[in-house]
Copies of this chain bind each other. A is one copy, B any other.
Amino acid sequence: MLAKIYVTLKKGVLDPQGKAVQYSLESLGYNEVKDIRLGKYMEVRLDDVHGDKAEARIKEMCEKLLANPVIEDYRFEITSEDM
């Protein structure tokens, strides 16, 4: 199983890294960029876990380690396809 996890900062949480990238883009001439927010993307490969069980395990991992639930949101999708 392959789980794709997306972690993003919650709305309202300041994203200084995103601002820095935005200023860099501006200095390169990309003035159409209104806002940019940075997040994390993770690909987790699981052995011998399927369906609901896999989903529950991934949710646990996100809550405990992969995301900070205080300031971050996460979402994930689980596929059998191996990229």
Chain A residues proximal to chain B, CB less than 8 Å: 6-8, 18, 21, 24-25, 28, 30, 32-49, 57, 60-61, 64-66
Contacts and interface: CB of A to CB of B under 8 A. Distances in A.
Contacts of A38: 40-42
Question: How many chain copies does the complex carry?
Answer: 2
Nearest to A42: B38
Contacts of A46: 32-34
Contacts of A49: 32
Contacts of A44: 33, 35-36
Contact of A48 (B32, B41, B60, B64): B32
Nearest to A66: B21
A35 B41 contact: no
